[in-house]
Structure 1
Amino acid sequence: MAQRIALNPVERVSGFIQVEAAIDNNRVVKAKSKGLLFQGAKKVLSGRNLLDAIYSRQGICGICSTAHSVASSLALENAIGIYPSQQERYLRDIIQGCDFLQNHIRHFYQYTLTDFVKLTENMSLWEAECEDFRLPRNKNFEIAEHYSESLNITRSIQEILALLGEKISHNNRTFVGGVTKDKITAIKSFLHRIRQFITEKMIPDAFVISHYYSDYYKIGSGCCNFLTYGCFYGYKEFGTLYVKPGVYIKGKESAFDASKITEEADYSCYIDKKGIYGAMDMITDEEIGNSDEYLWIKTPRYNGLPCEVGPLARQWLSGDYRNGTSTMDRIIARVLEAKKIVDIVDVLFENLHISKPYKKEYVIPIHSEGAGYIDTAKGALCHWLKIDNGIINCYRIITPSAWNLSTHINNGIMGTAEQALVGTSIQNIDNPVELGRIIRSFDPCVSCATDVYSQGEYVKTIRVIP
């Protein structure tokens, strides 16, 4: 008979995630990923001034604030009908690239590393609970030292973001029509140090870990469908620096078609269920309706199928990395992407020539719709909005973690992370480290993946019992 275990909360992720698994003969036969954090980011904007979206949507997440500001700006530009110049876009994309870098370095060293590396005893706040440390003592010590060094590196990246955006998080300079900040000369001095750390320490550290944990190349493979909205592409001078929008479904690569994106809420905590929702459909009544519902994350699908988004999806669709689709492949893809991104940021800086502030005039339309598709550090992110009478009537967001952590739907197909967990061999049911390692490889951020808000009502209290 299968034994049910729960990992609650999954540690070292953004937000609150619970993983439930049915274990039979020490193997996962069924899994559920549950997003337990809730917020009402989308409904809050209904009836608000159009320009409130950029700044208020940064507040959806303190980690992903830059990503949401860019996606919101793109959606507004699409609705208004204005577009930044190439130079304006370079500066915005530099901000986005730096956001990639701080996220990838922080995720690898602060979130992933301690699954495989035992930190030094002088780090008093850290307590080892994992029993599966395999690195030789000298290798372990060397990589543990890089853990501390990575904090200074990510601080340098945050300084770049603060110089470009005036402050971080929740910057002031990602706005409709382009970025206005022109003081960039101090930033170049940081890039050499960041690139050196990535190439000389981060990438080698990841491959050392992969050598001693080679079994993780064989577990944690998800749905094997990949999606990207495109990343650093469409430049007049350069063409594509990374990857165009595309999908890889059932072994076949094809062009991305936005009309194939839908959301479902069959097993999410909503009473209002009609099956499949389009981009501008709102799910109005959020409440636990019956015992079959088990998470606050809705279920995005592409042509009815789950897709993985993030570094592995981009590396796969760009052709840069196609070694595999496992837990370790996600980790390797992320560190390799960091090197790719720092090179792209350098190219953009070398071609950035700002002589005066850039800002376009625009008129807010009475009625319009807009969408901002962008790939962020964690994966594919889109903001949709609808304008009626010059104000926001509808605002929708599908986040990367909604793609990766969504549940199964009535057709029985599980979500990406749930599929990745099934089939995993668990060595110690009382300490299922394998589950946490697999989930963390997706770099989940539940802060902006979940969405619950009922105007005039108290938020329900959910008691989390470890």
Structure 2
Amino acid sequence: MKKIVIDPVTRIEGHLRVEVEVDEEGVVQEAYASGQLFRGIETILKGRDPRDAGLLAGRICGVCTNSHFRAAVSAVEDAYSIVPPDNARVVRDLMTMALFIQDHVVHFYHLHSLDFIDVTAALEADASLASEEAKKYSQNPYRNSVAHYTEVLQKLRNFVKAGRLGPFANGYWGHSAYKLTPEQNLIILSHYLEALRFQTEISKAVAIFGGKTPHPQSIVVGGVTSVADMLNPQRVNDYIFVIKEAKEFVDRAYMSDMKLLATAYRDEIKEGLGRAKGNFLSVGGYVFDEKQKLFSGGVIYGYDFSKVEEFDESRISEEVDRAWYDEKGEVCYTDLNDDGTLKTAKSDDKYTWIKAPRYGGEVMESGPLARVLVSYLSGNELIKPFVDEFLDGTNLELIDLTTTIGRNAARAIESVYICEYIFKLVSRLVQNIKYYNTDTWAKYDFEKLPKEAKGRAFLEVPRGVLSHFVSIKEQKIQNYSVIAPTTWNASPKDREGKRGAYEEALIGIKIEDATKPLEVLRVIHSFDPCLACAVHVIDTKGKELSRYKIRTL
């Protein structure tokens, strides 16, 4: 066996190391994903006023800021049984939905697309042929003109001539795993550059109601503070304008690029490259009307698409057998081997700061793919036509989404879906205001709230299932805990040797060149890792932090 080490894995958030063991044919036989940085930001929350939880927890990550902000506030609201007014829920959803769109587009183009597009090959493209090629994947391709593609080619050549390649430096250009034609490379690369402007504009949609982004500040326990923005027709119109522009890009660039990618890499999809265990977890959420939610909750086991089990939060557990903690919760860092590799030779060796969450003892994959599958198979009529349209347009089956490229497709499907229904959320807000429903805060007297309370929040956020748990004593935060989407997906092996989703998805991947492990990066990037969120705190003195009695809805 030969070991290949990738450290650090770049184009992600946080510090991730991946080690794979390959046989003489270069096929991955074993894999280890290691979160390399310990973060204890939750200790900052201890002893604080529960009403400050959102602003502090939002700093867990510089990418997922709104997600942690909202989850923290929701957990405190759950502890005190505070129900925000409808307007507050809609405003929060509008911020979250804009974040979904922003996160998915940035992930594909700026974090993942270079795993599939060869920048050097794009230099050989014919602008006229590229314009014709784009029409195969969209009836109205985004900025599809010979002049535009010629301009992009000139920009690339200027990069090369100046020797300042920026984000295109140090790639595995020319790798045999690249499958796109020069013209296909140019199409997606042109959208890569357009997406730089896109992410600036879509961020404004979050800031309109959030005050700023990242780290918005308008969500408070009981509601939102962005009352003036909500009641100002111009601010609402500004939001609508940004989303309309985003929808143009998502429909005409992002989705068409995903169809192009699915067509070009069809063989890899049909081979099932990048599949994990086939266990998918979604908690659902985002009420669209009185009867429907944007996403459905449920659990799928072992690619069994014939049934979706109901989600039961009491089945969640966490293990630390292979993480750098001991059974008492104390830090138990064991360092690396003398040759700089992870200590993984024995079944009880520890190799990551990330704990191993399990659902009923099973490894789960969380994220856009899980949401799409669970929602679709649960009979969610809102999302079904969007999934069907993609599958019909690419001549793929539902099982094909459970692959590396399928995870990307699920994000694109979600983005198109959200861009369609987000306007109906705006209409709901406008209707409330029209009929003089302008409440944005559930009034309460903090001094009269219970001195002791416990709460939790389960949310679907761009990367998957996010849960926050809070324990309050004497009206101060006693303990706080987070299980983020990447905690689920990047978890290490458990005491039974079950691999986490990252690790399982790498098994069987063939690496053509050990010095350029592009195939490994494709799989890992498809999950959109966020390691800063994944590592959460323990008590270094080995004290019991808290006991939770889980109640089901």
TM-score, structure 2 normalization = 0.77
Q: Which sections of structure 2, spanning at least 5 residues, go unmatched? A: 120-155, 160-164, 336-342, 344-348, 377-383, 388-397, 542-553
In structure 2, what is the Cα distance between the partners aligned to 1:351 and 1:360? 19
Greater gyration radius: 2
1:179-198 equivalent positions in 2, closer than 5 A? 179-181=224-226, 182=230, 183-198=235-250
CA deviation string 1:320-379 (max 9, x = no partner): 442331111101111111111112211101111346462222234201110010000000
**Aligned equivalent of 2:71:** 71
Q: 1:423 aligns with which of 501, 508, 516?
A: 508
1:369-421: CA deviations, max 9, x gaps? 10010000000000001111111111110000000000111111111111000
Amino acid at match of 2:295: V
Where 1:229 maps in the other structure, the secondary structure is: strand
Distance 1:239 1:108 in 2: 33
What is the CA RMSD across the aligned residues, in angstroms? 1.8
Report Cα offsets for 1:57-99 as digits up to 9, x if no partner.
Answer: 0100010000001111110110111111222211111111011
Contact 1:381–1:397 (8 Å) recurs in 2: yes
Q: For 1:360, which of 442, 449, 464 is the aligned residue?
A: 442
Within 1, Cα distance between the matches of 2:88 and 2:256? 35
Does structure 1 conserve the Cα–Cα contact (< 8 Å) formed by 2:58 and 2:65?
Answer: yes
Unaligned ranges ≥5, structure 1: 275-282, 457-466
User: Distance between the aligned counterparts of 1:418 and 1:454, measured in 2?
Assistant: 28
1:228 to 282, 297, 300: 282
Matched letter for residue 170 of structure 1: H
Q: Residue 255 of structure 1 aligns with which residue?
A: 310
Alignment of 1:10-159 (within 5 A): 10-24=9-23, 25-119=25-119, 120-123=156-159, 124-125=165-166, 126-127=168-169, 128-130=171-173, 131=175, 132-159=177-204
Q: CA, structure 1 residues 52+180, in 2 after alignment: closer, same or farther (shift >3 Å)?
A: closer
Displacement of 1:142: 1.8
Aligned position for 2:357: 300
Answering whether residue 211 of structure 2 is matched by residue 211 of structure 1, we say no
Which residue of 418, 435, 445 maps to 1:341?
418
Contact 1:14/1:447 (8 A) holds in 2 = yes
Aligned to 1:51, what secondary structure does the other structure show? helix
In 2, distance between residues paired with 1:5 and 1:375?
34
Name the structure 1 match of 2:211. Answer: 166
Q: Does 1:264 align with 2:319?
A: yes
1:433 and 2:518 matched: yes
Q: Which is worse superposed, 204-213 or 394-403?
A: 204-213
Which residue identity is paired with 2:199?
T
Q: In the alignment, residue 323 of structure 1 is paired with which amino acid?
A: I
Higher helix share: 2
From 453, 456, 468, the equivalent of 1:383 is 468
1:39/1:453 contact within 8 Å kept: no
Q: Partner of 1:34: helix, strand, or coil? A: strand
Q: CA deviation at 1:211?
A: 1.8
Partner of 2:369: 312
Whichever residue aligns with residue 427 of structure 2, its letter is: E
CA deviation vs aligned residue, 1:282-317 (integer Å, no higher than 9, x gap)? x3x223158511000011000001100110000000
Contact 1:69 1:175 in 2 (8 A): no
Q: Distance in 1 between matches of 2:488 and 2:253?
A: 31
Q: Secondary structure at the match of 1:232?
A: strand
Q: Distance in 2 between matches of 1:315 and 1:169?
A: 27
Q: CA deviation at 1:249?
A: 1.9
Contact 1:383 1:398 in 2 (8 A): yes
Shift of 1:180: 2.9
How much does 1:424 deviate? 0.9
Structure 2 residue 500 is matched with structure 1 residue 446: no
User: CA 1:6/1:357 → structure 2, altered by over 3 Å: closer, same or farther?
Assistant: same
Indicate conservation of the 8 Å contact 2:86/2:440, yes or no.
no
* Aligned pairs, number: 443
Which residue is equivalent to 1:371? Answer: 456
Q: 405-414 or 352-361: which moved more? A: 352-361
Q: Secondary structure at the match of 1:185?
A: helix
CA separation in 2, counterparts of 1:12 and 1:41?
23
CA distance in structure 2 between the aligned counterparts of 1:344 and 1:267, rounded to whole angstroms: 42
Residue 452 of structure 1: CA displacement? 5.0
Q: What is the letter of the counterpart of residue 516 of structure 2?
A: N
What letter corresponds to residue 46 of structure 2 in structure 1? S
Structure 2: how far apart are the matches of 1:17 and 1:121? 33
Question: Any idea what the Cα deviations from partners look like across 1:428-456, whole Å, max 9, x if unmatched?
Answer: 12211110000000011001101357779
Aligned counterpart, 2:405: 328
Partner of 2:3: 4
Distance 1:261 1:455 in 2: 23
- Looking at structure 1, the residues matched to 399 and 322 of structure 2 have their Cα atoms a distance apart, in angstroms, of 34
Out of 406, 416, 427, the position equivalent to 1:350 is 427
Structure 1 stretch displaced more, 300-309 or 188-197:
188-197
Corresponding residue for residue 460 of structure 1: none
Is residue 180–residue 357 contact of structure 1 (8 Å, CA) maintained in 2? no
Residue type of the alignment partner of 2:316: I
- Residue of structure 1 equivalent to 2:129: none
Q: Which amino acid aligns with 2:321?
A: D
Change (3 A) 1:7 1:121: farther
CA distance in 2, matches of 1:122, 1:135: 22
Given the superposition, is the C-alpha separation of residues 37 and 289 from structure 1 closer, same or farther in structure 2, using an over 3 Å criterion?
closer
Amino acid at match of 2:364: C
